[in-house]
């Protein structure tokens, strides 16, 4: 393992730029049906969102639960600034008197400077996979939740991504990308561990559910959209993978050719599993 990579303070494999910002807003809409399924926040008032990023999930939470105030935590000042700007443009993110129903704070999730028992629910989405100490983060979150507060964690299982017909260069690229994430001390397959992580952090009443993205010609447009979504995930890492020689330019270009062709291929299909875990403090 590359120790410099593991100890890097920047562990967000997809990077920070305008393209990634727009990808996150698109992603929030694409996974909305699953990531917001069965959220037990109807009667809650103060939600803590860890890794709130550009505010993509925050906006949807505020729209779904009009009684909520959300505190979003992120370690990147640029993400926090973008989230504040984005939510300021949405009418449903304010109380009737015009004050914001949200606040975004630059903070390390392993050292939360928050009042204990202040929050009555918590939300994670595609966040724990980018953290070197997800167990510590969950323990810190539990300390600021009121007893019995619900928590929802939604994460990926990268090993489950499968495309038919097989695409050799896409597979090579995807493997290199996941190996890079592991070298950063993070885990793109953390979804499978959510139940254990919540239990070890002291949460109770834990339930897990597998959510399946499966697209084929039953809805050709949806299939094409998901192939393009998957392609855009791959492209977020192209600079680092090429710079570190984990892939060649030939592999990169063939990957693009393969996945673009697959998006239009009437024989193609794609499946990808995500995991949701619910529990209570």
Percent of the chain topping pLDDT 70:
95
Reply yes or no on whether the pLDDT at 150 is more than 80.
yes
Q: In the chain, which ranges are continuous DSSP H helix?
A: 3-6, 18-30, 32-35, 56-64, 77-88, 134-144, 168-183, 194-200, 220-235, 238-243, 249-264
- Superfamily of the domain at 3-280: Vaccinia Virus protein VP39 (3.40.50.150)
pLDDT digits (tens, 9 = 90+) for 74-105: 999 999 999 999 999 999 999 999 999 999 99
Q: Angle between the 168-183 and 249-264 helix axes, to the nearest 10 degrees? A: 120
What is the per-residue pLDDT for 62? 97
pLDDT digits (tens, 9 = 90+) for 240-254: 999 999 999 999 999
The mean pLDDT of 226-251, rounded to a whole number, is: 94
Reply yes or no on whether the pLDDT at 197 is more than 80.
yes
What is the per-residue pLDDT for 5? 38
What is the per-residue pLDDT for 37? 84
The mean pLDDT of 105-114, rounded to a whole number, is: 94
pLDDT digits (tens, 9 = 90+) for 8-38: 334 676 766 777 888 888 888 988 888 898 8
Q: Which helix (H) or strand (E) holds 69?
A: strand 69-74
Reply yes or no on whether the pLDDT at 3 is more than 80.
no
State the pairing for strand pair 102-106/69-74.
Answer: parallel
CB under 8 Å to 99, separation ≥6 — which residues? none
- Average pLDDT of the chain to the nearest whole number: 92
Phi, psi (deg, nearest 5) at residue 113: -95, 65
Percent of the chain topping pLDDT 90:
84
Reply yes or no on whether the pLDDT at 2 is more than 50.
no
Reply yes or no on whether the pLDDT at 181 is more than 50.
yes
Nearest to 129 by CA among 257, 21, 278, 275: 275
According to DSSP, residue 146 is labeled P
- How many degrees, rounded to 5, is the angle at CA 260 between CA 256 and CA 263? 145
What pTM did the predictor assign? 0.90
């Amino acid at each position: 393992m590359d120790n410099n990579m593991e100890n890097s303070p920047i562990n967000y494999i997809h990077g920070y730029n305008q393209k990634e910002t727009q990808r996150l807003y698109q992603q929030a809409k694409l996974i909305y049906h699953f990531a917001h399924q069965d959220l037990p926040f109807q009667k809650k008032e103060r939600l803590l969102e860890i890794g709130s990023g550009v505010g993509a999930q925050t906006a949807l939470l505020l729209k779904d639960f009009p009684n909520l105030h959300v505190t979003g935590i992120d370690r990147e000042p640029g993400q926090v600034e973008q989230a504040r700007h984005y939510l300021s443009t949405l009418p449903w993110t304010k109380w009737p008197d015009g004050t914001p129903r949200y606040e975004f704070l630059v903070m390390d999730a392993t050292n939360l400077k928050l009042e204990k028992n202040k929050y009555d629910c918590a939300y994670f989405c595609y966040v724990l996979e980018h953290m070197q100490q997800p167990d510590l983060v969950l323990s810190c979150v539990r300390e600021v939740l009121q007893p019995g507060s619900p928590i929802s964690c939604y994460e990926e299982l990268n090993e489950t991504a499968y495309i038919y017909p097989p695409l050799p260069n896409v597979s090579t690229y995807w493997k290199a990308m996941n190996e890079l994430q592991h070298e950063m001390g993070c885990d793109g397959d953390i979804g499978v561990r959510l139940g254990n992580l919540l239990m070890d952090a002291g949460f109770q009443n834990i339930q897990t559910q597998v959510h399946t993205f499966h697209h084929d010609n039953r809805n050709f447009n949806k299939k094409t959209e998901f192939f393009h979504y998957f392609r855009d995930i791959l492209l977020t890492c192209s600079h680092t993978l090429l710079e570190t020689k984990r892939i060649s330019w030939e592999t990169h270009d063939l990957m693009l050719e393969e996945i673009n062709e697959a998006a239009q291929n009437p024989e193609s299909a794609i499946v990808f599993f995500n995991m949701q875990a619910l529990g209570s403090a």
